[in-house]
Amino acid sequence: MPELPEVETIARGLAKRISGDVIESVWLGSKPEPLKSPAAEIAIALQAKRISTVRRAGKHIVFDLESARGAIASSQWIVHLGMTGSLLVCAPGLELEKHTHAVLQLASGRELRFVDPRRFGRLSVIENFEAPGAEPLQIAFDDFGALFHRRKTPIKSALLNQNLLSGVGNIYADEALFRARIRPRRRASSLTHDEFHRLYNALKRVLREAIRLGGSSVSDYVDADGEEGFFQLKHRVYGREGKLCRVCKTPIKRIVIAGRSSHYCPRCQK
DNA sequence: ACTATGTCCTGCGAGC
DNA sequence: TGCTCGCAGGACATAG
């Protein structure tokens, strides 16, 4: 469900609310595990650890942990929300929502819960985690171009490849391509220097604006405070098949690229 | 090495 | 009202 702006919003909300809190105990649902690391390993790694910070890396939420006694322990709890995962901070004893897979009891008395109906989300404990791809908001233009300009795959697929850029998903790929006036099926290698430049800038702008508005709430996304985002009001192509382009009034088209629905304006995008 | 396709899950809305 | 179908913001394994 969440892409970079949504994950950023969630991570900021969590950082604000639970930084400094200590994990007293851990419950992990059994079942087909949404776990990347073994359950016992995760439970042990989280137990009695202090959450020093919460931040985003690509689409991952990173909890930096340290020993509750202040000793250095550079392990990190990594949460990937998949499509439908959410992290909730709530009062203890509140009835467990269906599809709750993890509950952390915090020293402050609250609980941090991981809920994920579709179970595409993943939990793991790693040391020195790094997302494989580059951060779209950090990368320099030259590196951005170098990442893509030899690839024969559609530019849309390349944008979704997390090993290249980390954090771009289906909504923001479509929205950035519209703003850059580039069709999603274009081979990445066919883009001109000017087009790469437009795409680079469009992607940064769209991600920054989405973060400012708290992300896109298109189905059930809410941030750590239970608040919805507002960027869906700014979508120009995503989810607008058949509706009129906000720029030229041509109906927006929907096609499938690499199994993902892709939206574009046949007149504005070349 | 790079690229396209299928699969993992549950829930929801559209259409009949 | 109740059923089936198609679709969903992600990422991986597998096949070509």
- What is the per-residue pLDDT across A193-237, written as a single tens digit (0 to 9) for each? 999 999 999 999 999 999 999 888 766 566 767 778 888 889 999
Point out the domain boundary residue: A102, A126, A150: A126
B7 C1' – A259 CA distance, angstroms?
12
Q: Nearest to residue A2, comparing CAs of A237, A224, A254?
A: A224
Statement to judge: residues A9 and A42 lie in one domain: yes
Residue A113, CB, less than 7 Å from strand C? no
What CATH number did the domain enclosing A18 receive? 3.20.190.10
Confirm whether any atom of chain C, the nucleic acid strand, is less than 7 Å from CB of A15. no
Among residues A66, A92, A126, the one where a domain terminates is: A126
A233 DSSP assignment: G
Per-residue pLDDT tens digits for A134-165: 999 999 999 999 999 999 999 999 999 999 99
For the record, the structure tokens of A171 come out as 């909504």
Distance A258 CA to C14 C1' (A): 15
The whole domain housing A218 covers 141-264
pLDDT in tens, A38-85: 788 899 999 999 999 999 999 999 999 998 776 666 799 999 999 999
Is A133 domain-assigned? no
* A152 and A216 share one domain: yes
Residues facing residue A67 across a β-bridge: A49
CA distance A201 to A213: 18
Residue A122 and residue A147 in one domain: no
Whether residues A19 and A104 share a domain: the answer is yes
Name the pTM for this structure. 0.95
Task: Identify whether A2 is a catalytic site residue.
Answer: yes
Residue A160 lies in a domain: yes
Q: Are residues A90 and A150 in the same domain?
A: no
- For helices A4-18 and A193-212, the axis angle rounded to 10 degrees is 40
Q: Residue A119 falls within a domain, yes or no?
A: yes
A111 carries an active-site annotation = no
pLDDT of residue A255: 93
Question: Catalytic one among A49, A56, A59, A179?
Answer: A59
d(CA A12, CA A4): 12
User: How many Å from the CA of A259 to C1' of B6?
Assistant: 10
Q: Would A113 be classed as within a structural domain?
A: yes
> Does residue A230 lie within any of the structural domains?
yes
Query: A262: which 2 tokens?
Result: 């892709």
Total number of domains constituting chain A: 2
Residue A109, in any domain of the structure: yes
Distances (CA, A) of A223 to A123, A124, A130, A198, A235: 18, 21, 23, 30, 19
Residues A95, A176: one domain? no
User: Helix, strand, or coil here: A40?
Assistant: helix
Any domain includes A270: no
Q: Tell me which protein residue sits closest to nucleotide B4, measuring alpha carbon to C1'.
A: A258
Q: In this structure, are A112 and A11 located in the same domain?
A: yes
What CATH number is given to the structural domain containing A223?
Answer: 1.10.8.50
Residues in a beta bridge with A27: A103
Please choose, from the candidates A120, A118, A200, A119, the residue with its C-alpha nearest in 3D space to the C-alpha of residue A155: A200
pLDDT of residue A227: 76
Could you tell me the end-to-end alpha-carbon distance of chain A, in angstroms, rounded to an integer? 28
Q: Chain B bases under 7 Å from protein CB?
A: 2-11
A260 is catalytic: yes
* Residue at A218 is within a domain: yes
* One domain for residues A47 and A118: yes
Round to whole Å and give the CA distance between A73 and A76. 9
A185 and A145, same structural domain? Answer: yes
A99 with A166, same domain: the answer is no
A245 in the same domain as A157: yes
The amino acid at A241: E
- How far does the CA of A220 sit from the C1' of C5, in Å? 22
Residues A85 and A176 in one domain: no
What confidence tier does A167 reach under pLDDT thresholds 50, 70, 90?
A: very high
Rounded to an integer, what distance in angstroms lies between the CA atom of residue A270 and that of residue A264? 10
